Structure 1
Amino acid sequence: MGQTGALGRAEKLRKDGNTYFKRGKYLAAIDAYTEAITLCPKVLVNYTNRAQCHRVLKDWTRVEEDSRKAIQLDSDWVKGHYYLGLALLQKQEYPEGVKELERALDLGRVADPKGYMVEDIWQELAKAKFREWEDASSQRAWELQSLKEACESALRQTHDAFQMEGFLDEDGTTHMKQLEALGRVFEKAAEADTASEVPDYLCCNISLDIFRDPVITPSGVTYERSVILDHLEKVGKFDPVTREPVEPSQLIPNFAIKEAVQAYLKEHGWAYRTS
């Protein structure tokens, strides 16, 4: 079979695979994509199509394999980084998984800012960030509790030793005050791992959701890019708050707010609206 014939056959197999997938026949879809890959191994879409099938079947090892093959063919392939990120998260490799999802999100914003994948990637990234923070938070909480118990034990031993030596505080008043002070110290230390509400200034005026890709209008109001673009297209070319005329080309990235959002999320673990 010549190259043209192989390409034609591979394309038909890809379409067959898509049909099988829509019908829920995932194993048949995998077979079709596999045959297409055998015929034309450099057509990367078949790798991520097959990865999607493996994802549905929760075969994360194969999801990772196909995603990496797709990225080898095109390092800017959004779905490759997206599926690889999901697979790594299943292995609890949170830093690497988050890194891949962040890469997918950046590429997706460039390729299709209003596309469905950007929203999907964002949601998965938010959940991944929270799981990463929760895992680290649990570890810190265990370490704090162990340290607190060790300090309480040391205070008890000191108190008992003082009593045996005939020092005052027979009623334990000083000891109780020390324990209370110790408790306040550790309570304060644990506050960093407590989820909190996102400040209003970090949220879009229209969607009320936290900023992902903030842009500022000539009037000085910041919005989520996809949200304000949707407003300009469907409602009218004006600032929703100031009513001043706005063209899409006048929207400027608000890097200060973006950095503030990233700093907040890093500190508070993305613990917001992820359910």
Structure 2
Amino acid sequence: MPKPEAEQHKLLGNKLFAEHRYEDAIKEYSTAIIKDSEERVYYTNRALCYSKLGQLDNVISDARKAISLDDSTVKAYYLLGQALTEKKQYTEALNKLNIAYEKAREQKVKYINDILQALLLARKKKWDDAEAVRLEKESELLRYVKGLVIAEHDRELKNVAEDDEEKKDELKYYRDERLSKIQTVFEHSKENLMRREIPDAYLDKISFNIMHDPVFTPDGITYERQSLLDHFARNGHFDPITRRPCKEDQLIPNLSLREAIEDFLKENGWAADY
């Protein structure tokens, strides 16, 4: 049980947080921690304040502490995953956000869609960073290859008589033609990479977003799990396409499709926020 004196500081911290007075709220949560250092909610509440202030290292520290006190706390995994994403520690971020998603599903946490979006964003940012590195390497290669052509031209030019304008023009034409062809090859390569298509089977039939947790209904139709649960809550327990009865406990994970989508996103991270 939380200590009453510590709870008073937590409640005041909550009030200050609602007023967007994050630094003052941090002071109250810190006092609550001093009075009761074993209550994980104080750490997650303070981590959320630190998140609002962009103090990522403090978010990570408090979230890890909360998890050490209670490894079922969804909020701590969620905040930790978000902070690690911003720190570009993508592998661990994805791990923590996946844990947050699974625990949120088990505990029926209301903000599960926010967790899913954070998970997809982490995938997207990981791919974006890798893509930026790839493009820079490609640009370096292009500059290097063009440099070789220009250097060869300059060497050949040294062996041409000063007054041999015809030969000079010939070498210049040859150089420019090769540079143009090299540029075209690189541009075509870039165009091929930019042809972005997502297989229809990877898209949820309700939200039309790429799926993270695909499940079968009894009629054999695959949906994103959370989209289907949202549909049940809004419209009733039936398959959106066949209109036949369907309940949550009848859903079966489509593991092969999930694996295929994960492999696809590793090579096509742009699709994460499709």
TM-score by length of 2: 0.83
8 Å CA contact 1:195–1:271 kept in 2: the answer is no
Q: Which residue of 2 aligns with 1:68?
A: 64
Structure 1 residue 250: deviation in Å?
Answer: 1.9
Q: Which residue of 1 aligns with 2:259?
A: 259
Deviation readout 1:127-170 (Å, 9 max, x if unpaired): 23222222221111111111111112223334555677789x93
Give the number of aligned pairs.
268
Q: Which residue of 1 aligns with 2:146?
A: 152
CA-atom RMSD, angstroms? Answer: 2.9
Q: How does 1:23-102 map to 2 (within 5 A)?
A: 23-102=19-98
The residue identity in structure 2 corresponding to 1:138 is A
Q: Distance in 1 between matches of 2:268 and 2:192?
A: 7
8 Å CA contact 1:198–1:272 kept in 2: the answer is no
Q: Which residue of 1 aligns with 2:164?
A: none
Structure 1 residue 232: deviation in Å?
Answer: 3.3
The residue identity in structure 2 corresponding to 1:145 is S
Q: How does 1:201-220 map to 2 (within 5 A)?
A: 201-220=201-220
Say if 1:157 and 1:20 are closer, same or farther in 2 by CA, change over 3 A.
closer
Pick aligned residue for 2:133 from 128, 139, 162:
139
The residue identity in structure 1 corresponding to 2:61 is E
Unaligned runs of 5+ residues in structure 1 are none
Q: Distance in 1 between matches of 2:98 and 2:137?
A: 30
2:119 counterpart of 1:125: yes
Pick aligned residue for 1:10 from 6, 12, 21:
6
Q: Distance in 2 between matches of 1:151 and 1:86?
A: 41
Pick aligned residue for 1:115 from 97, 110, 114:
110
Identical columns (%): 37
Which region of structure 1 is more displaced relative to structure 2, 182-191 or 35-44? 182-191
8 Å CA contact 1:194–1:268 kept in 2: the answer is no
8 Å CA contact 1:195–1:269 kept in 2: the answer is no
Deviation readout 1:155-205 (Å, 9 max, x if unpaired): 3334555677789x9366665554444334433544576373433321111
The residue identity in structure 2 corresponding to 1:75 is D
Q: Distance in 2 between matches of 1:195 and 1:24?
A: 44
TM-score by length of 1: 0.83
The residue identity in structure 2 corresponding to 1:141 is L
The residue identity in structure 2 corresponding to 1:230 is D
Unaligned runs of 5+ residues in structure 2 are 161-166
The residue identity in structure 2 corresponding to 1:29 is A
8 Å CA contact 1:239–1:246 kept in 2: the answer is yes
